[in-house]
């Protein structure tokens, strides 16, 4: 069944949110803060691993780095576009609407939790590649693996940030569902190089999410999202990074 991967992933996020919501009540506020910091540190190291995989290579027994210019250009250009469009404000407005419609008007952390969790589970090559596989052949295995990871991540986030995290299932459903429907159009664009570049830039953005979790909101990560589009476009330039 085409689209089953998106359904599984969205359901796993919602289930993780429910688990985190009920287990979070078992902890005091200072303990919830500690869990939030631990979650942020975990996200940082996951992102670092992904970024280093894209930037480092072994050559004759030496570890060499590269693609620094790709990172700089994609992030700079993407952030400029995102700031002009105001993507972060759009996320926040949607979060405020969800907060009211879901009966959580009194939850001051709802919007921050929703935006943070949404960015964490939406960014990355697994979401795009998995949705394309699901749309073309009905192979939902990649999204099923992502669903397990997202279940754990959202459960931990919800226990510390609040139930706004579980509503990140909505943008994931929309995002992955749209890619699944348009899979045959998107598939030729996502070459091996394009996926590698997207994974690298996505990892850097996830690192920024981790920074916000550990040190409080310092970076408007949503406004940096166009960077992933520039990463894909960079794969078609006549030179390599």
Per-residue pLDDT of 183-234, as tens digits, reads 888 888 888 899 899 889 989 999 998 898 888 778 899 999 999 999 999 9
If you average pLDDT over residues 180-184, what whole number do you get? 88
CB atoms within 10 A of CB 63: 9
Percent of the chain with pLDDT over 70: 100
Query: How far apart, in whole angstroms, are the C-alpha atoms of residue 158 and residue 21?
Result: 6
- 163 within 8 A of 5, measured Cβ to Cβ: no
3-class state of residue 60 by DSSP: coil
Region for 162 from its dihedrals, namely left if φ exceeds 0, alpha if ψ lies in -120 to 50, beta otherwise: left
CB atoms within 10 A of CB 102: 15
Cα radius of gyration rounded to whole Å, the chain: 18
Cα–Cα–Cα angle for 56, 127, 149, rounded to 5 degrees? 85
If you average pLDDT over residues 22-27, what whole number do you get? 81
CB atoms within 10 A of CB 237: 10
DSSP state, residue 105: T
């Amino acid at each position: 069944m085409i689209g089953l991967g998106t359904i599984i992933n969205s359901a796993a996020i919602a289930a993780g949110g429910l688990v985190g919501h009920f287990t979070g009540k078992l902890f005091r506020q200072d303990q919830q803060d500690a869990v939030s910091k631990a979650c942020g540190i975990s996200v940082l190291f996951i992102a670092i691993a992904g970024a280093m995989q894209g930037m480092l290579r072994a050559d004759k027994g030496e570890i060499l780095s590269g693609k620094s210019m790709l990172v700089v250009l994609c992030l700079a250009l993407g952030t400029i576009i995102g700031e002009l469009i105001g993507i972060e404000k759009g996320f926040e407005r949607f979060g405020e609407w969800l907060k009211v419609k879901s009966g959580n008007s009194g939850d001051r952390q709802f919007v921050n939790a929703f935006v943070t969790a949404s960015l964490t589970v939406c960014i990355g090559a697994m979401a795009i590649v998995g949705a394309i596989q699901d749309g073309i052949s009905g192979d939902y295995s990649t999204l099923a693996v992502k669903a397990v990871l997202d279940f754990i991540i959202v459960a931990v986030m919800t226990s510390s940030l609040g139930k706004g995290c579980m509503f990140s299932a909505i943008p994931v459903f929309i995002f992955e569902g749209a890619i699944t429907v348009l899979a045959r159009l998107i598939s030729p664009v996502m070459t091996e190089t394009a996926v590698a570049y997207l994974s690298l830039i996505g990892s850097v953005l996830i690192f920024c999410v981790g920074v916000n979790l550990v040190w409080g909101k310092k970076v408007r990560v949503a406004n940096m999202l166009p960077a992933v589009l520039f990463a894909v476009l960079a794969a078609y330039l006549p030179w390599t990074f």
